[in-house]
Copies of this chain bind each other. A is one copy, B any other.
Amino acid sequence: MSPATPAKSRPLRKRDAERSKRAILEAALVEFSEHGHAGARIDSIAERSGISKPMIYSYFGDKDDLYAAALREAYVQIREGERDLDLDNLAPEDAIRALVSFTLGHFRSKPWFISMLNTENLRGGTTVRKISDVSAIQSRLLVQLREVLQRGAEEGVFRSGIDPVDFYITIASICYFPISNMHTLRTVFKCPMDETWMEQRRIDAEEIAIRFLRPDPGGRDG
């Protein structure tokens, strides 16, 4: 169709640019999550990504813009992880257990996410506010969770009237803290923080979630 030379070089360049952007973004995510906003170094991101600093500036703008992109990327990765999660085909209790288990596993396997959230909250959330689409990101999860809670309430295994957002925050709380505060907990409370300890955490976390949802026994038996 088109003459040979430009036909191949253009898309290739575009693809290269895309590849460079990704490399930068991933390097930035690691750097910001390891060192926080102020501690992160553009030099270091350039080195990690193998892309020169001027390119970083030309692709992303200044440090704050790059930080925003990295923060957004952290949320995007979480969303992608949640795709695998399918609560609709599980019994309500199993669905809740699956969600807890998934959340804890997710926090552990993507340490950037927690670090980025910590960093962003330390900064007062000024950047997350600017990422316009961020609230849409976790909506699919909430929709599923609302459906599960509803189903459980109808089946009589869960209390009714549980707000999915509040409940998700509860789940997130139990999963977040032991990981985000791993280092201080290890030192202050001498927690081993090994696989078995974490596994026990998971079991407890599921139990906490389920017990919280369970209908008030007094109302039935009394």
Contact = CB atoms under 8 A, between A and B. Distances in A.
Contacts of A89: none
B189 A181 contact: no
19 contacts: A35-B38, A36-B36, A38-B38, A39-B39, A117-B184, A118-B121, A121-B180, A121-B183, A125-B187, A128-B187, A128-B188, A137-B188, A138-B189, A165-B189, A169-B178, A170-B208, A172-B177, A173-B176, A208-B211
Interface of A: 35-39, 75, 115, 117-122, 124-125, 128-129, 134-135, 137-138, 142, 165-166, 168-170, 172-174, 176-178, 180-191, 200-201, 204, 207-208, 211-212, 214, 217, 221
The majority secondary structure among interface residues of chain A is helix
What is the total number of copies of this protein in its complex? 4
Given A138-B188, A166-B201, A177-B177, 11 more contacts: A36-B37, A117-B184, A120-B183, A120-B184, A121-B181, A135-B187, A169-B177, A169-B178, A173-B176, A180-B180, A211-B211
The 9 lowest CB-CB distance pairs between A and B, nearest first, are A125-B183, A38-B39, A173-B177, A38-B38, A211-B211, A118-B118, A128-B187, A173-B174, A176-B177
Contacts of A117: 181, 184
A119 B181 CA distance: 10
Contacts of A214: 211
A89 B142 CA distance: 42
Contacts of A176: 173, 176-177, 181
Nearest to A182: B121
A86 B27 CA distance: 49
